[in-house]
Structures are given as structure tokens and as C-alpha cells.
Amino acid sequence: MGIVFVDVGVSLDGYMAGPNRGPDNPMGGRAMSIHQWVFECASFREHLGMKGGVSGTLDDDLIKRVFARSGANVMGRRMFDEGEVAWPEEAPFHGPVFVLTHHAREPWVRKGGTTFYFVTDGIESALAQAKIAAKGKDVRISGGAETIREYLDAGQIDEFTLHLAPVVLGDGLRLMDGLSAEKLKFEQTGSSSSALVTHVDYRVLR
């Protein structure tokens, strides 16, 4: 049985997305700079159907491992809505994705193995379905911030990796805001860095 994990990039001031987000700019101002280290990695570019990038680096190996362990993804509706217009026809998940929504919709099959399933009966149901679909691999809670916080507060996350980028956004959407601190305990299990980012791994204790 796989575990449930979060793997997410934040700015130095804790934002997942920048200020002035909107339909034309789903990540908000300057937020792409959080993920600069990702865009330079061959494994990520390959997943998006792009050429180039570096491979064999610590960062690239890390991305490769995240893709390899992810048997299914769970995401919030806003992340899906933003991605629906932004992702290429061959969506970058290459597996089942469970979307939390209030609007029932038939599964949406994309080229390259990604199928979006729309779940209207809550986060527990979405995670239960994702666990079955993952066939023993891990389930990734992809985002956005609110969805990650809901699963954290529900005690459903086993492992949490933070990619801390040397970028200040000043405003935007915080990853960690208003968490139930008395319920949440983290144990740091690993840490590494490259020029553009520091990666920190945590186990979420129950």
C-alpha cells in the first residue's frame, strides 16, 4: 500500500502563488520564479512534452522520483480549472487524477494516460478512490494550497516535501495559513539543496 504525500514549492515568504492572480495569470505575479529549478530539469520538460533541460542532477533525480512514485493525483477544482486551459493536450500527469468539485462530470481522458475523474462527495472519497487507482503506488495531493491544508488538517498526509526557493513574492496565496497547529507534528527526515532551491522532507506525525 502506498502512502499519501505532498511535494510543493514555496517562496521564501511562504507563498505558492503570487499577487494579482487571475484567469490570464493563474499563478500570479513572479510565482513562476519559485519553480525555476523545475523548469531547468529534463525530467520535468519531458513530462510536459518539451525538449532540453539538464539530467543527472540532484534536482532532476528528485523530480524523476516524484513522478515514478505517483500512482494517482488529487487536486482542487481551482487548480484543475487553471490547468484545464494551460496544460498541453497530453496532460502532464500520465495517470489518474481525482478532482475535488461540486459539479459532476464524466471522466475526461487525455492523451498520454492522464484521466481526470470528478469527485463530488468530499476529500475522503477522493483520496479513497485515488488509493485504489494508484495500485500500490503513492498518492500525491497536488494542490492547490487550500486542498493541501484540508488534507493536512484531516490528518491524511504521510509525507511532505517543501521546495524552498530564494524568491520573495510579498503577497499572494500562502501554503500554510491557519493550520490547526495543535494537531500537526512534523519530523524532518531529509534535506538537500542545489543553487536554486532547498528541498526539505518531513514525515507528518499522527
Question: Smallest gap, in angstroms, from Cβ of residue 168 to a second copy?
Answer: 5
Cβ distance 99 to 132 under 8 Å?
A: no
Pairing of strands 108-109, 138-143: unpaired
Q: What are the cell numbers at 125?
A: 472519497
Question: Smallest gap, in angstroms, from Cβ of residue 76 to a second copy?
Answer: 19
Which residue's CB is nearer to a second copy, number 104 or number 195?
Answer: 195
- Per-residue interface string for the shown chain with a second copy, residues 23-62, x marking contact by CB under 8 A: -------x--------------------------------
Which residue's CB is nearer to a second copy, number 115 or number 161?
Answer: 161
Count Cβ atoms below 10 Å from residue 31 Cβ, excluding itself: 24
CA distance 190 to 39: 23
Cβ distance 35 to 45 under 8 Å?
A: no
Question: Smallest gap, in angstroms, from Cβ of residue 157 to a second copy?
Answer: 12
- Give residues 184-203 in contact with a second copy (rule: CB under 8 A): 184-188, 190-193, 195-198, 200, 202
